Amino acid sequence: EFSSFGGTAIFFDSDGSRRSEAEYRPQPRFIAPQNGDTSFFGNSDPDQDTIINFSGTSAATPNVGAVAALLLELNRELTPAEIYEHLAASALPLPIDRDDQPTIDPPTLPPVGDPEHFNYPTGVGLIRAKEAAARIADISIQGKVFEDFGRNGIQDQGDRPLEGMPVFLDSNGNGIRESEQTLTEPNVQPLTIHSAARYFTPENITYENELIWPAKAGSVITFANMAGTITDLELSYTIHAPQGGDPSGQDRVFLTLISPLGIRVPITGTKLVGQAFNSPGNFSHQDSTTVFGSSQTILMETSSADHMSLANLAAFKHTPANGSWSLEVMNADPNHSYMLDNWSLTLTTEEPQVVTDAQGTYEFPGSHLSFSSAVGAYTPMVELPDNQFITTNNKTAIGRRNLKPTVNIGISLPRVERPELLPSTKIIVDNSVPGPNPFVFSWNNLATSLLPSVSGIRFVVDSVRGTVEKKSGDTWVDVSTPPTTSNPRELLRLLSLRVVKPDDELRWIPPAESPQAEEAFSLVGWNGKLVSESKSSIRFEMQ
């Protein structure tokens, strides 16, 4: 990474007048990668792949511009100030130690903000393209899961939100969540990586260093039928120098793993150790991480240096496993060939799952939907017994114009032949006084008293002694008055008032002449298609 060192003293204002005190501005804003390979510009080779590296601010700035272009592609309305803000907010903070201080110490500088999030050598840290793009995209899949009594795909009044329902992303369309699947695929076909090529140059041109073009070769492993996305990865390889080769040439051999999406992660190579903000020639030493002659295992999450990848394998997390994976081997040694004897890849996948809250809502955040693989089709799904089904369209797709789709999932009620109610029940009422004082109750009181399961049944108020009222907003509506007309529309309206749905609140007002009536009212059960064969008698009892 590179940036010019910040904290330069500013002695004059914009009008050219000298300030009473020097101003120290919080610069640089951030840093960006440098030392990309080039065949035409540069004079150093810190990664020792024999390809000259391009360093300095001129090398770092194009990488910032490339990320800015990606952000503008996602949102063409972004202003330069907003792009700067997103790049800074998503940067990786790089607190510095004394050993990492620049060779030339600056004057004593005033602190700027939190030293863990800003310092003059690195600003707010190293820019990260994926994290910056994720801030712009802000992708997610969200929605509600509800009990669809009418089976019409719409959450009508009385259709209960379902709390605690596991929702998963069904990647293979089988309606069953694949909680975890691990598969190992080997490639035992030896692969020879030939020696690097030398440039042929005119005799009248002399280069200080010999120009080499490394040789590359790739070995492929293909995965299929793995559901979900990657949660873990393990790579094993065996590479050696053929007879007559040079086993000490591991500092010229580099391994890179490439996913089906084209994500490239360096597995082995040259690790630069030293003062990161000095010139490349001042690195204290360069460690090669390629090991020859024995089987090596690289793990996604490990604290062991022996099993650690040169770059973070977590870049493959939450991306699809299916497709062709390639282990690319680059040989920068112009004098010897090397052989990849075999390699294998172990992938663990699962279908992401979340659980609905008390309002029946769920959300798959962007962390479940890797930005690099987000564009495409998704199917939020709930595993259901055979007697239930989903009534809504639960397929969606994420794209540039649909970054946060909402997918509501309606679940049918259990298919029962006919609801069975207890012939009678009593509802215990605390601190009630007989007479005109109303007894308040709810659908839940009825359901828990009359049904083996509270799911899937509505009630219809039948004969009433006294008055039954149902709360509608802030008022109570009489639902027990017999119809006085034969008009079909009015009869349907009165019937809908008599239906007791989940979350309904009701009250019974006893008749004044008989407050101790045995039966308050009766009702029948209804499952959306059939009613119960007999009525159930409801009475109240004071405790």
Distance, CA of 83 to CA of 68 (rounded, Å): 7
Query: Would you state the torsion angle of the CA atoms of residues 405, 406, 412, 413, taken in this order, to the nearest 10 degrees?
Result: 150
- Count structural domains, the chain: 4
Structural domain that includes position 37: 9-137
Token pair 């479940």 is at which residue? Answer: 368
Q: Which helix (H) or strand (E) holds 458?
A: strand 458-464
pLDDT of res. 177: 92
Could you tell me where the beta strands, DSSP code E, fall in 320-444? 323-331, 338-350, 353-355, 361-364, 376-378, 380-381, 396-398, 409-412, 424-429, 439-442
pLDDT of res. 82: 92
- Residue 432, both tokens: 């009630």
Distance, CA of 166 to CA of 175 (rounded, Å): 12
> Where is the domain boundary, 350, 377, 396?
350
User: DSSP character for 126?
Assistant: B
Distance, CA of 70 to CA of 169 (rounded, Å): 27
CA distances from 180 to 224, 350, 351, 352, 505 (A): 15, 5, 8, 10, 44
Distance, CA of 42 to CA of 400 (rounded, Å): 39
- 362, 238: one domain: no
Residue 1 covered by a domain: no
pLDDT of res. 295: 92
The DSSP code sequence of 466-512 is SEEEEEETTEEEE--PPP----HHHHHHHHHHHEE-TT-EEEEE--T
- 344, 358: one domain: no
Distance, CA of 32 to CA of 279 (rounded, Å): 15
**At 434, is the secondary structure helix, strand, or coil?**
coil
Distance, CA of 480 to CA of 494 (rounded, Å): 9
- 60, 88: one domain: yes
- 324, 212: one domain: yes
Q: Which helix (H) or strand (E) holds 145?
A: strand 141-148
Distance, CA of 162 to CA of 454 (rounded, Å): 12
- 129, 153: one domain: no
Residue 515 covered by a domain: yes
pLDDT of res. 107: 44
Residue 338 covered by a domain: yes
Distance, CA of 239 to CA of 187 (rounded, Å): 13
User: DSSP character for 317?
Assistant: T
Residue 418 covered by a domain: no
pLDDT of res. 283: 46
Distance, CA of 452 to CA of 421 (rounded, Å): 9
CB distance 158 to 113 below 8 Å:
no
CB distance 442 to 506 below 8 Å:
yes
- Residue 519, both tokens: 């039966």
> Where is the domain boundary, 350, 365, 380?
350
Distance, CA of 380 to CA of 391 (rounded, Å): 13
Token pair 């032949």 is at which residue? Answer: 417
> Where is the domain boundary, 298, 333, 350?
350
Distance, CA of 458 to CA of 160 (rounded, Å): 12
CB distance 329 to 193 below 8 Å:
yes
Residue 2 covered by a domain: no
- 371, 400: one domain: yes
- 439, 471: one domain: yes
What sign does the CA torsion over 297, 300, 305, 310 have?
Answer: positive
CA 380 to centroid of chain Cα atoms: 14
Q: What is the 3-state secondary structure (H, E, C) of 213-278?
A: ECEEEEEEEEECCCCCEEEEEEEEEEEECCCCCCHHHHHHEEEEEECCCCCEEEEECEEEEECCCC
- Whether the pTM exceeds 0.95: the reply is no
- Residue 532, both tokens: 């119960």
CA distances from 137 to 73, 81, 211 (A): 10, 17, 43
- 108, 212: one domain: no
As beta bridge partners, residue 286 has 272
- 327, 206: one domain: yes
Query: Would you state the torsion angle of the CA atoms of residues 281, 283, 288, 289, taken in this order, to the nearest 10 degrees?
Result: -140
- 224, 85: one domain: no
Q: Taking phi first (over 0 means left), then psi (-120 to 50 degrees means alpha), and beta for anything else, what does residue 385 get?
A: beta
- 155, 304: one domain: no
- 189, 314: one domain: yes
**At 375, is the secondary structure helix, strand, or coil?**
coil
Q: What is the CATH number of the domain that holds 199?
A: 2.60.120.260
Distance, CA of 297 to CA of 306 (rounded, Å): 8
Residue 4 covered by a domain: no
| Short-list 286, 542, 295, CA closest to 432 | 542
Question: Which residues 6+ apart lie within 8 Å of 111 measured at CB?
Answer: none
pLDDT of res. 58: 83
Q: What is the CATH number of the domain that holds 167?
A: 2.60.40.10
> What stretches in the chain show pLDDT beneath 70?
1-7, 39-51, 95-117, 198-212, 242-251, 271-287, 370-375, 400, 414-417, 428-437, 452-456, 513-518, 542-543
Residue 212 covered by a domain: yes
Residue 463 covered by a domain: yes
CA 32 to centroid of chain Cα atoms: 25
- Phi–psi pair at 400, nearest 5 degrees: -60, -35
